[in-house]
Chain A
Amino acid sequence: MSFIGKRHGLAETPPVAAVAANALALQRLKETRSMPARQLPATRAAQGAIRIENVSVEFKRNGATSIAVKDINIEIAAGEFTALLGPSGCGKSTLLNVIGGMVRPTRGETCIDGMAVREPSATCGVVFQQHSLFPWMTALDNVAFGPRMLGHEAPLAVAREFLAMVGLEKFARAYPAQLSGGMQQRVGIARALAIRPPVLLMDEPFGALDAQTRSIMQEELLKIWSELKTTVVFVTHDVDEAIFLSDRIFVMGNAPGCIKDDIRVGLDRPRTPEVVQSPGYGSLHRRVNRLIREESMKVFNGTVN
């Protein structure tokens, strides 16, 4: 048993299940490779449905238990773009990590397409907040890592395709340390997408970027998503970002972390930055903002520890 698994309280899954999961992932990767988006098989659309049932996560800190998130119940349809929005410390990352299998819930269960999540696997592509690229690999090798692990016969070709998708084919041979923060984040996105995961989990992926780059990246992400049609769970604390990107926003509250509201964003797609001027935007923004402000004030006024 590995210490890493232990540290996260993960149980080992039997190798048989792991092998089966990988075989499935590879099959998916082959099926959809270099196939134009519009011709994706119909079954594809049914992948990536997430169900979170009564999930609570407790952390032990110096002997005391603190509840990070409590009694979360969410269902996300396959192909949906959802945002987790909430003030700092409300458990967004924790919930995202539960979906990805990086954190084991104390109670409750998460299922993706009916299969219980027990450990991180190729079902979920994850884009971390920062510094998750492998520094010893070039950008190309970073992106090729997933296809390689899944036994794809031409991992480098797949990697080139996805690097091109994020506009970085010229930087294939660069090491992460030689790239800017925004470029690293794009490589991270390409790497997560290169295995065509049914679910894409993104933890404040654009948090460290300047406003312009951020806006461009948001549009790029929507373009890519509209091609690949994966389910996206996008963590952010930026109201505009959440509205611009999502079909649905889960507003999270504090102490312990919970879902305060589930808001449908009815704005038309494809979206451009001009969406701000569309009729529904203002009222939606005010509504979400009010919710977030309430929660943030609670923390600020000390009603919450």
Chain B
Amino acid sequence: MDRTMQSEYFKKALRLPALPAWLSGAAWMAAGLGILALIWTLVALRLNNPVLLPTPTVVLEGFYQLFADGLLLKDVVASLKRVFIGFLIASAIGVPLAMLLAYFVTLRRLILPVVNLIRPIPPIAWIPIAILWFGIGDKPSFFITAIAAFFPIFLNSFFGGISVEDQHLNAARCLGAKKVSLVVRIMFPSALPMIWTGLKIGLGQSWMAVVTAELIAAQSGLGYMIQVSRLNLETSYVLVGMVTIGVLGSLMALALTSVERYVLPWKQK
């Protein structure tokens, strides 16, 4: 055994068993959150004003109260429903429309300028008109979450669609494919990686927009809860709402990432 092998051997013998990847990831996350909680606590104690910033323990208490009461769950469900329905509407319109515009030039010339004109209008600017059209409640929120999700979904799908390779289209034609098959079986799957990116971004946008919509146009949901709690100076509930929004948003992103390998099996290494 030469020297380097020897030292390798001892290193191996002495090393602690390696943590599995997810466990070490969780450990780092816990550490990061711990630091955040620590700073938060210190600042809150220094301020000593629960209306401006309650300590994490007070917020946890508030979380427990709202949870035990069933109120939190109700609001979460209301918000989630609005996000998913808006997101589904946006996907159902955005993806097919993008594929059609990517394939048919005439349609693209007609519709793309309109899309570009509407795109810079932020979701929040749609809220007044959404209230006028749909009143207060679920419907205007569906509208707002759909608007927010639509543009990232549509634009990513569209660029995915137009970047389909000519060679693939020609190969498919030489194998007997006609228009519909070319769009559905060639353009769509070759755009799917970008469509998927669009869906991920769209879901995130939609989740942000639901809170905005509920601040004004609804009487339930996490956004509404935050707004009411602020009026009642229940800052701990405001923070409960915010933390819940953050956690659920991250979980959604995580969920989409974790099913990616089933959606894009050919992209896996």
Partner of A132, one of B103, B168, B176, B266: B168
The answer to whether A149 touches B175, judged by C-beta atoms less than 8 angstroms apart, is yes
How many angstroms from the CA of A146 to the CA of B181 in the assembled complex? 11
How many A-B pairs have beta carbons closer than 8 Å: the answer is 90
Q: Which of A35-43, A117-125, A261-269 interfaces with chain B?
A: A117-125
Given the interface pairs A4-B103, A4-B169, the reply to whether A124 lies near B174 with Cβ below 8 Å is yes
Partner of A149, one of B105, B166, B176: B176
The answer to whether A170 has its CB under 8 Å from any CB of chain B is no
Which of A2, A8, A137, A146 gathers most chain B CB within 10 Å?
A2
The answer to whether B104 touches A1, judged by C-beta atoms less than 8 angstroms apart, is yes
The answer to whether A70 has its CB under 8 Å from any CB of chain B is no
The answer to whether A195 touches B175, judged by C-beta atoms less than 8 angstroms apart, is yes
The answer to whether A252 has its CB under 8 Å from any CB of chain B is no
The answer to whether B176 touches A150, judged by C-beta atoms less than 8 angstroms apart, is yes
CB distance from B29 to the nearest CB of A (A): 33
Contacts of A192 in B (CB 8 A): 174-175
Contacts of B106 in A (CB 8 A): 1
The answer to whether A135 touches B266, judged by C-beta atoms less than 8 angstroms apart, is yes
The answer to whether B266 touches A2, judged by C-beta atoms less than 8 angstroms apart, is no
The answer to whether B172 has its CB under 8 Å from any CB of chain A is yes
| CB interface residues, A 17-37, toward B, < 8 Å | 18, 22, 25
Q: Using CB atoms, name the residue of chain B closest to A128.
A: B167
The answer to whether A146 touches B175, judged by C-beta atoms less than 8 angstroms apart, is yes
The answer to whether A3 touches B104, judged by C-beta atoms less than 8 angstroms apart, is yes
The answer to whether B265 has its CB under 8 Å from any CB of chain A is yes
The answer to whether A3 touches B176, judged by C-beta atoms less than 8 angstroms apart, is no
CB distance from A132 to the nearest CB of B (A): 5
The answer to whether B103 touches A134, judged by C-beta atoms less than 8 angstroms apart, is no
Given the interface pairs A134-B186, A136-B192, A136-B266, the reply to whether A4 lies near B174 with Cβ below 8 Å is no
CB distance from A48 to the nearest CB of B (A): 14
Which of B169, B170, B174 gathers most chain A CB within 10 Å?
B174
The answer to whether B190 has its CB under 8 Å from any CB of chain A is yes
Given the interface pairs A120-B173, A136-B266, the reply to whether A149 lies near B167 with Cβ below 8 Å is no
Q: Using CB atoms, name the residue of chain B closest to A144.
A: B175
Contacts of A119 in B (CB 8 A): 173
CB distance from A148 to the nearest CB of B (A): 9
The answer to whether A60 has its CB under 8 Å from any CB of chain B is no
The answer to whether B96 has its CB under 8 Å from any CB of chain A is no
The answer to whether B178 has its CB under 8 Å from any CB of chain A is yes
The answer to whether A177 has its CB under 8 Å from any CB of chain B is yes
Partner of A134, one of B105, B108, B176, B189: B189
Given the interface pairs A100-B174, A134-B186, A136-B266, the reply to whether A149 lies near B181 with Cβ below 8 Å is yes
Question: How does the 8 Å CB contact mask read for B132-161 relative to A, with 1 for contact and 0 for none?
Answer: 000000000000000000000000000000
CB distance from A202 to the nearest CB of B (A): 12
CB distance from A126 to the nearest CB of B (A): 5
The answer to whether B175 touches A191, judged by C-beta atoms less than 8 angstroms apart, is yes
How many angstroms from the CA of A136 to the CA of B175 in the assembled complex? 16
Partner of B108, one of A3, A15, A135: A3
The answer to whether A25 touches B176, judged by C-beta atoms less than 8 angstroms apart, is yes
Contacts of B179 in A (CB 8 A): 2
How many angstroms from the CA of A57 to the CA of B169 in the assembled complex? 21
How many angstroms from the CA of A6 to the CA of B106 in the assembled complex? 11
Contacts of B176 in A (CB 8 A): 22, 25, 121-122, 146, 149-150, 195
CB distance from B178 to the nearest CB of A (A): 6
Contacts of A158 in B (CB 8 A): none
Question: How does the 8 Å CB contact mask read for A123-167 relative to B, with 1 for contact and 0 for none?
Answer: 011101001101111000000011001100000000000000000
How many angstroms from the CA of A22 to the CA of B182 in the assembled complex? 15
The answer to whether B105 touches A18, judged by C-beta atoms less than 8 angstroms apart, is no
How many angstroms from the CA of A31 to the CA of B179 in the assembled complex? 26
How many angstroms from the CA of A135 to the CA of B264 in the assembled complex? 10
The answer to whether A2 touches B171, judged by C-beta atoms less than 8 angstroms apart, is no
CB distance from A253 to the nearest CB of B (A): 27
Contacts of B189 in A (CB 8 A): 134, 136-137
How many angstroms from the CA of A141 to the CA of B116 in the assembled complex? 38
| CB interface residues, A 196-222, toward B, < 8 Å | 197
Q: Using CB atoms, name the residue of chain A closest to B108.
A: A3
The answer to whether B177 has its CB under 8 Å from any CB of chain A is yes
Q: Using CB atoms, name the residue of chain B closest to A194.
A: B175
Contacts of A124 in B (CB 8 A): 174
Residues of A in contact with B (beta carbons under 8 Å apart) = 1-4, 6-8, 15, 18, 22, 25, 100-102, 119-122, 124-126, 128, 131-132, 134-137, 145-146, 149-150, 175-177, 191-192, 195, 197
Query: Told that A100-B170, A137-B266 touch, could you supply 14 new A-B pairs with CB distance under 8 A?
Result: A2-B103, A2-B179, A3-B105, A4-B103, A18-B178, A126-B174, A134-B172, A135-B190, A136-B189, A146-B176, A149-B178, A149-B181, A191-B171, A197-B174
Among all A-B residue pairs, the 8 with the closest Cβ atoms: A146-B175, A120-B173, A149-B176, A3-B105, A122-B176, A136-B189, A175-B266, A126-B174
11 contacting pairs across A/B (C-beta < 8 A) = A1-B106, A25-B176, A100-B170, A122-B175, A135-B190, A136-B264, A149-B178, A150-B176, A175-B266, A176-B266, A197-B174
